[in-house]
Amino acid sequence: MSFPITRHRRLRGSAGIRGMVRETVLNVLDFVQPIFVTYGTGVKNEISSMPGVYHFSLDTLKAEVDEIAALGIPAVLLFGIPETKDAIGSSGFAEDGIVQEATRLIKQWYPELLVVADTCLCEFTDHGHCGMVHTHTVNGVVHGDVINDASLDLLTRTAVSQAKAGADIIAPSNMMDGFVHAIRAGLDENGFEHVPIMSYSVKYASAFYGPFREAADSAPQFGNRKTYQMDPANLREALREAESDVLEGADMLMVKPALAYLDVIRTIRDQFNLPLVAYNVSGEYSMVKAAAQQGWIDEQAVVLEMLTGMKRAGADIIITYFAKDAARWLRG
């Protein structure tokens, strides 16, 4: 009788021993919960493509934030749906903008809860692009592109207004060239040298953002985002994006989306020493919710497996619409 030389199963024999040798453990402290804020009163509207995710008006927001804080989730990421939109996204940097108002309230209610502000213009521009655009019309079809350097000034104003309102972390998601440098300079000049930048360094032009664009009403009205967000086929380009952000002063790097980009997360983790964020985006959420509603998958098990995979790939922090659920499940 010959025996296996190696018995891997010895370390899998009981929950106790599996726990002891587990290499990756999710922690509620890893999570950031996104929140959509809007005008009006008494609003708590479910986003149809994202069951369990809502638009909150400022008066219904408290209950949501109470729940997040009670679960021990350390941070929220704010997205705003403004009352009015224009060509330059001015409601994005208005002192009384929806994100600024929500930030002030949350910091009053929970000074310890970190408010992360998504710094972008697509929710606030009438054309839905992440910066200022030049357009021309040919045979009734609008063509245009985002003007990089002119957009930097608007994005910097947005970041500074968010910091003034009390945002703890500025998270620019616009993918203009030089945005980290411009925003860092703007923050420093305005006395916010202590506010860190969580840069969406490696953000792909992804179809997985579909449900978010319904949620944030931010779909581009012409064209797409391929001239500023990255081609999903590229990995070396991700290294160049991350490198420039490091040189420009980013405090944290991000890879977005997460599920189809775990190799990118691992590569960035291995090459850079800044904290790394994975963004488990809207489409990744919606797919799981849809399959779970059909009874085709075990939602809890699938979500915890996905989040564990992101952490194992090298993410230190995970932005996820599942943050509240995962926090509850981890408590058992």
List active site positions. Answer: 203, 256
Q: What is the dihedral of CA 191, 101, 37, 151, to 10 degrees?
A: -40
**Least Cβ distance, residue 233 to ligand PBG (angstroms):** 18
Q: Are 80 and 99 in contact (CB under 8 A)?
A: yes
What's the N-to-C CA distance of the chain in angstroms? Answer: 44
Q: How far is the CB of 281 from ligand PBG (least distance, A)?
A: 4
Q: Which is nearer to ligand PBG, 218 or 267 (CB)?
A: 218
Q: Which two three-digit tokens encode residue 188?
A: 């420093």
200 is in an annotated binding site: no
12 is in an annotated binding site: no
* 62 or 302: CB nearest ligand PBG: 302
> Could you tell me where the DSSP H helices lie in the chain?
15-20, 61-70, 98-109, 148-165, 179-189, 210-215, 236-248, 262-271, 282-293, 299-313, 323-331
Per the annotation, does 225 bind a ligand? yes
Residues contributing to the site for ligand PBG (CB under 6 A): 118, 120, 122, 130, 173, 209, 212-213, 225, 281-282
Toward ligand PBG, which CB reaches closer, 214 or 251?
214
**Three-state SS string across 74-141, please?**
CEEEEEEECCCCECCCHHHCCCCCHHHHHHHHHHHHCCCCEEEEEECCCCCECCCCCCCEEEEEECCE
Residues 132-144 as b/e (b if ≥16 CB within 10 A, e otherwise) read: bbeeeeeeeeeeb
Beta carbons within 8 Å of 197's beta carbon, 6+ residues apart: 169, 170, 171, 172, 180, 183, 184, 187, 249, 250, 251, 252
CA distance 56 to 297: 29
Q: Is 248 annotated as a binding residue?
A: no
Q: Which residue is nearest to ligand PBG (CB)?
A: 212
Which one, 31 or 212, has the nearer CB to ligand PBG?
212
Provide Rg for the chain, Cα atoms.
Answer: 21
Is 213 annotated to bind a ligand? Reply is yes
**321 marked as binding residue:** yes
Task: Tell the smallest beta-carbon distance from residue 274 to ligand PBG (Å).
Answer: 20
Smaller CB separation from ligand PBG, 24 or 221: 221
Supply the minimum distance, in Å, between the C-beta of residue 108 and ligand PBG: 25
Report the nearest approach of ligand PBG to the CB of residue 122 (Å).
5
Task: Tell me the binding residues for 5-aminolevulinate.
Answer: 213, 225, 282, 321
Residues of each annotated binding site for Mg(2+): 241
Enumerate the known binding-site residues.
120, 122, 130, 213, 225, 241, 282, 321
